[in-house]
Amino acid sequence: MRYQFENTIKDRLMYCLEWKQNIDVYLANRKISEKANQEYYKSKPLLKLIINFYFIPYNLLRFFRYLRIIHDYKKNEIEIKVLSKELKKNENQK
C-alpha cells in the first residue's frame, strides 16, 4: 500500500512539474507577443485605440483568463512543495 501511495505522489509531482514548465513557456510567449503588439502599434495609435475599444469584452475575458492561469500557477507551486515534503516524509519512514 505504501509503495502504491509513493508512486502516486511521484506521478502527481511529475505531472505538476510538467504543467509548470508548460505554463512557463506559455507566459514567456505571451510576453513576447505583447512586446510585438506594442512595437507594431507604436506607429498606429489611432488603430490601437479603435481595436481596443471594439474588443473590450474579449480583452476583459482574456484578462480574467490570465488571472486564472496565474492563480493556478501559484497554487501549483504550493502543491509541488507539499508533494515534495510528503515524498521526503515517506522516504524517511522507510
DSSP letter at 27 equals: H
pLDDT of residue 51: 95
Predicted local confidence at residue 94, as pLDDT: 67
Which pLDDT belongs to residue 22?
A: 97
Q: How many CB atoms lie within 10 A of CB 81?
A: 11
What are the residue boundaries of the structural domains of the chain, listed by start?
A: 2-93
Q: Which of 52, 91, 29 is nearest to 83 (CA)?
A: 91
- DSSP string computed for 11-37: HHHHHHHHHHHHHHHHHHHHHHHHHHH
The pLDDT value given to residue 93: 80
- Whose cell is 519512514? That residue is 93
Local confidence pLDDT in tens for the 94 residues of the chain: 677 888 899 999 999 999 999 999 999 999 999 999 999 999 999 999 999 999 999 999 999 999 999 999 999 999 999 999 999 998 888 6
Q: Determine the pLDDT at residue 92.
A: 82
